[in-house]
Chain A
Amino acid sequence: MEFLRPATWEEALAVKAQHPSAVPIAGGTDVMVDLNFDRHRPDALLDLNRIHELHTWQIADDDTVRLGASVPYSKIIDALPDRLPGLALGARTVGSPQIRNRGSVGGNLGGASPAGDAHPPLLASGATVEAASVRGTRLIPIDDFYLGVKRNALEPDELIRAIHIPSATGPQQFAKVGTRNAMVIAVCSFAVALHPRARDVRTGIGSAAPTPRRASEAEAFIRAELDDTGLWTSAGELPLSTAKRFGELVARAAAPIDDVRGSAAYRRHALAVMARRTLLWTWNDHRATGRAAA
């Protein structure tokens, strides 16, 4: 196995163009597991750890966070919880402290496992993946990124350079079911983000379909419900029945399977409960913020 260690981003792109089968590695929390258990024997590893810029982030004029692909989860938790509250909540549930010190959103996206904890908040935030190759750079909307189980929209010569995530303009939540209280892979997970300026609500479902996905029907329902009842303007109480219906529609959007981690029926049930609860948490936060501002 070749071990390629480019010193710069440009060099990395050149190496990737030469070795399209090379597997990029940063924290190694995912790639090394596959290697150690002999599930995957790539002919080359492309080590991105020398490329400093991947560990940094910038805030654009429009308040979008350009998050380097290798920024570890622990940094997101410590430094970005106000701008990226949903992602920070998801990051807190990733593995153990040691894993959070090494693992990064770029790795989650590269691996594209439906169980990745970063995916639902990225979907709910409306993130964009900055992919690059020697051919140039393209911005892939997160909705178009996940293609299948552990398959994403990257071309063989492309690397993920950064993830563009709009700073939160409203409350965001993330909840995940696992069968222990820490360091657990998702049985299923759910993220919701309120976008009050756009009067929009976005969602993300994890570990309950071949890919992470949004609950489009649930989003349409709650958008319409908030518009029709004037709740965005009145900042009134969200009826429990509305939240319940939202939960049911989220559950309906999932396509879970039975496996050792949980039954399909449980996953649907849990998604309905988590969606109902997290919607109420975000809405109540939104109301409280509105009142505080008023």
Chain B
Amino acid sequence: MAALTKPKNLQDVAAPGRDGVGASPLRPDGILKVKGDFAYSSDLWHEDMLWGMALRSPHARARILSVDVSAALAQPGVYAVLTHEDIPGSKFYGLEIRDQPVLAIDEVRFHGEPIVIVAADHPETARRAIAKIVVEYDVLPSIGPVEALDPERYGYVHAPADYKAHAFGNIVHSQHIHHGDGDSAEVRALADVIVRGEYEVGMQDQAFLGPESGLAVPAEDGGIDLYIATQWLHVDRQQMCPVLGLPPEKVRLTLAGVGGAFGGREDISMQVHACLLAQHTGKPVKIVYNREESFFGHVHRHPATMVFEHGATRDGRLVFVKAEIVLDGGAYASTSPAVVGNAASLGIGPYVIPHAAVDATAVYTNNPPCGAMRGFGAVQMCFGYETQMDRLAAELGLDPVELRRMNAMEQGSVLPTGQVVDAPAPVAELLRRVKEMPLPEVENWRTADGPDVRELPGGLSNTTHGEGVVRGIGYAVGIKNVGFSEGFDDYSTARVRLEVIGGAPVALVHTAMAEVGQGGITVHAQIVRTELGVDQVTMAPADTRVGSAGSTSASRQTYMTGGAVKQAAEAVRAVVLARGRDRYGWAPAFAAGLRLAGGKALTAAGEVVADLVDLLGDEPVDETTEFRHRPTEAFDKVTGQGFGHVQYTFCAHRAVVDVDVELGLVKVIELAAAQDVGKAINPLAVVGQIHGGSTQGLGLAVMEEIIVRDGKVRNPSFTDYLIPTILDTPPMPVDVLELADAHAPYGLRGAGEAPTLSSTPAIVAAIRAATGLPLNRVPVRPEHLTGT
């Protein structure tokens, strides 16, 4: 035992921590992705593997009269053709309500619903087998969001007594919020001005670039190993085990390379199909969707219809808000209940309003299922309430930013749910900052050699050389919750191990966090470097051998798994420092006051008292902890009151656009943002998140929509579902505030979603300013701007 030997290298000054919290080390996957070298889940390969494929419904609503798979089964190279009858366990799954059949049973409820799955020795063989399956349908008229509200006349998406829908007709979930005196006659009488507006948000898609894919490998113990691109390994498993009839320890998931998620991988897609086929054939099965199938293979953002009434005094004080929101949940519940909770509780925006009555409802329809997407119910509402704020400002003759600042919430404000905001809420300050940023040059497209069409609406399509181009400026601000809400037991697990390898201290971090491109693993390494004073941090693959990390969604992973890694690292540090009591005879209080930095143990004053390698010795320290944020509570079903959200996050945008008012084409010239992130753990990554979120909001503003007619998806391709290119993406100056939230690790605030909210209404406000049109629907299409 090395106890009481004199610590060596005492004269060394501890090297300053490199790439710790607050630095911007580069992410390890970045260059690989740019060069095309990153291994995605679609690149997985196994000897002797089979290819899985699904037959999907061409109809939105139909009874299945018969399914004949005999010709498919007879085809050489086909190993399995499965229908719901072949499922060993439960035939249903779902994130919140288990209402979705793994394979359709007797009826289909949306265009693209899987009915049969096939495994074959080659994707082409599988495709041909699929083509040989004969399904007889009795096609029924599809139920849309309007018909859904009158089931007596139009019918039920799910038969009464089925699932959860039995008590509520076609309603998946509703939430009412009653604040103050709601919108009573007395309240209305207090308002000098009432502005009413109806708004619509189209169906946006996550449009992640890496399609759904994974590889299921049957194991000798009768279990399955699944390599998968997902957002939440443990909840995938939780949904799959009952279907496969296997206990959790026999269903082991490992994260494969994920090509983006944005909510679209929160529900399972091909996971359970691949496992069923692997289970049935005893062979590894790979499934990769192509782009078209991907549009059918995941949930989308809920389309919304919203009716708002805002009442205010003549001098611009908000008196009341009434909002009625219907969200199209599509054929299955997915996360609709939680989306409703967000829409209702965040539905009036980041404003102090004494009276509010909000009703949000999600309905079952025969449209594609909708669920999680970046912004999660708050995006739709932000378009509604921010448009209302502009209209109110116009009505009152006030500057729209000034009206917002007058009514902005701040720390200590009471939300309509009764929750008191107990962390910084710099809404007015964010607005002030975006407004005061210098404006971009006017007519920036003029050059000595004539117009530069790349800087004009239409770009290289050469539709204007300046004719019809009008500039507009618009502002918006939004509020988003962070983490899981409404009483959900939200936790994350992290394991941190510290040991000496090759004479140097090396840390290992093991979590089940899905790295979907958010930069979480980079942040984990930064946290460990800061907490343990080491340079080398190794990341174990994310898998189900460690406890759940929760989903990579709700802007929560830096807070939650980052918090868990911090907590585990602190536990490791405590054990390491306790060893100094044995080795060097440190008093407990002395040991507890030390910190680790640059591979040394230091006093608070910075005096080096031990080398970390010596302190550690030969025995690794290995700690696993669960981290929880403070508990929340469910919203009261009748009044919507309750401490429902753990943290709020705010972003403000100023959009500058040039509109070709004759052709209805838009060029966003600049999209400036200001956001409070509490603490930027990795400032570069934070700006990246704000740029990405803002751009996704830009897409919703002017181009991104899945067009559904009578339940049929009309544009399942990147030819017709357009996402912004670099020419559509403007310069995006970002002002990052760091006002610490005392409840959160390092004071940080989830950053990923807030910029997606306000970007859309800011851009549409700018287009309104340029055109004078009301524009109550997004995405804004050229037809809306030209009256055609």
Which partner residue on chain B sits nearest A259 by CB separation?
B714
Contact with A along B762-788 (1 / 0, CB 8 A): 000000000000000000011100101
Closest Cβ–Cβ distance, residue B124 to chain A (whole Å): 10
Task: For B458, give its contact among A181, A183, A262, A266 (CB under 8 Å).
Answer: A181
B463 within 8 A of A: yes
Chain B nearest CB from A88 CB (Å) reads 11
Does the CB pair B292–A269 fall under 8 Å?
Answer: no
| Known contacts A37-B292, A180-B725; A260/B462 CB under 8 A | no
Kindly count the residue-residue contacts between A and B in the assembled complex, taking CB atoms under 8 Å apart.
Answer: 102
The residue on A at minimum CB distance from B781 is A179
On whether A262 and B783 interact (CB within 8 A), knowing A93-B461, A175-B463, A177-B461, the answer reads yes
- The answer to whether A38 has its CB under 8 Å from any CB of chain B is yes
Per-residue CB contact flags for chain A residues 272-290 toward chain B (1 = under 8 Å, else 0) read 0110010001000000000
Write the chain A residue with the least CB distance to B458.
A181
Say whether B719 faces chain A, with CB atoms less than 8 Å apart.
yes
Q: Are B459 and A38 within 8 A (Cβ)?
A: no
A215 at the binding interface (Cβ < 8 Å): no
Closest beta carbon of chain B to A201's beta carbon, Å: 18
Asked if B61 CB lies within 8 Å of chain A CBs, one says no
Main secondary structure of the interface of A (DSSP, over half): mixed
Question: Please, which residues of chain A bring their CB within 8 A of the CB of B290?
Answer: 36-37
Contact of B722 among A93, A173, A175, A180 (CB under 8 A): A180
Q: Chain B's nearest CB lies how many Å from the CB of A117? A: 9
B703 interface hit (Cβ, 8 Å): yes
CB–CB A270/B782 < 8 A: yes
Q: Are B725 and A182 in contact (CB under 8 A)?
A: yes
B-side contacts of A111, CB under 8 Å: none
Q: Cα distance A273–B458 when bound, in Å?
A: 13
Measured CA separation A281–B703 after assembly (Å) = 29
Contacting B782 at CB < 8 Å: which of A38, A173, A262, A277? A262
Q: Nearest Cβ distance between residue B205 and chain A, in whole angstroms?
A: 14
A58 adjacent to chain B (CB < 8 Å):
no
Residues of B within 8 A of A185 (CB): 719-720
A268 to B664, CA, bound (A): 13
User: In whole angstroms, how far apart are the Cα atoms of A37 and B720 in the complex?
Assistant: 14
Check if B461 sits within 8 Å of A183, measured CB to CB: no
Q: Is B490 an interface residue (CB 8 A)?
A: no
For residue B725, which residues in chain A have a CB less than 8 angstroms away from its CB? Answer: 180-183
Known pairs A262-B783, A266-B782; A181 contacts B720 (CB<8 A): no
**With an 8 A cutoff between CB atoms, is B457 at the interface?**
yes
- Given A38-B127, A177-B463, A266-B783, A273–B457 Cβ distance below 8 Å? no
| Chain A contact residue count (CB 8 A cutoff) | 33
Q: Answer yes or no: B667 CB below 8 A from chain A CBs.
A: yes
How distant is A271 from chain B, measured CB to nearest CB, in Å? 10
Q: Given A89-B462, A263-B788, are A270 and B663 also a contact pair (CB < 8 Å)?
A: yes
B460 touches A260 (CB 8 A): no
B195 within 8 A of A: no
- Per-residue CB contact flags for chain B residues 660-691 toward chain A (1 = under 8 Å, else 0) read 00111101000000000000000000000000
Chain A window 83-96, contacts with chain B (Cβ cutoff 8 Å), 1 for yes, 0 for no? 00000010011000
Question: Could you tell me if B782 and A179 are in contact, using CB atoms closer than 8 angstroms?
Answer: yes
Interchain CB contact (< 8 A) of A173 among B462, B702, B728: B462
Contact between B664 and A266 (Cβ–Cβ < 8 Å)?
Answer: yes
A198 to B369 alpha-carbon distance, docked (Å): 60
Given A180-B724, A180-B728, A269-B788, A174–B782 Cβ distance below 8 Å?
no
- B717 cross-chain contacts in A, Cβ below 8 A: 37
CB-CB under 8 A from A260, the residues of chain B are: 707, 714-715, 720
Nearest residue, chain B, Cβ from A258: B783
CA A89 to CA B465, docked complex, whole Å: 14
B463's partner among A180, A183, A261, A274 (CB-CB below 8 A) is: A274
- Give B130's nearest chain A residue, CB to CB: A38
A202 within 8 A of B: no
Closest to B456 in A: A181
- Give complex CA distance A246, B667 in Å: 27
Interface string of B698-716 (1 = CB under 8 A from A): 0000110001000000110
Q: Which residues of A contact B722 (CB under 8 A)?
A: 179-180, 184
Give the contacting residue for B665; candidates A89, A177, A277; CB below 8 A.
A177
Residues of A within 8 A of B728 (CB): 180-182
Complex CA gap A185/B782 in Å reads: 15
Contacting residues, chain A, for B127 (C-beta < 8 A): 38
* B788 close to A184 (CB less than 8 A): no
Q: Which residues does chain B contribute within 8 Å of A37, judged by CB atoms?
A: 290, 292, 717
| B residues in contact with A141, CB < 8 Å | none
Contact with A along B248-277 (1 / 0, CB 8 A): 000000000000000000000000000000
Residues of A142-199 at the interface with B, using a CB-CB cut-off of 8 Å, are: 173-185, 187
Instruction: Please determine whether B465 and A182 come into contact, CB atoms closer than 8 angstroms.
Output: no
Cβ-based interface call for A60 (8 A):
no
Asked if A265 is an interface residue, CB under 8 A from chain B, the answer is: yes
Min Cβ gap A171→B in Å is 13
Query: A270 vs B725: C-alpha distance in the bound complex, in angstroms?
Result: 22
Known A-B contacts: A92-B462, A260-B707. Give 15 more (CB < 8 A): A38-B127, A176-B461, A176-B463, A177-B663, A180-B725, A181-B725, A182-B459, A182-B727, A187-B782, A260-B714, A269-B788, A273-B468, A273-B662, A274-B663, A281-B465
CB-defined A-B contacts under 8 Å, sample of 17: A37-B292, A92-B462, A93-B462, A173-B462, A175-B461, A175-B462, A176-B462, A180-B702, A180-B724, A181-B457, A183-B725, A184-B722, A261-B720, A268-B788, A269-B786, A273-B663, A277-B465
Query: Residues of A with Cβ closer than 8 Å to B?
Result: 36-38, 89, 92-93, 173-185, 187, 260-263, 265-266, 268-270, 273-274, 277, 281
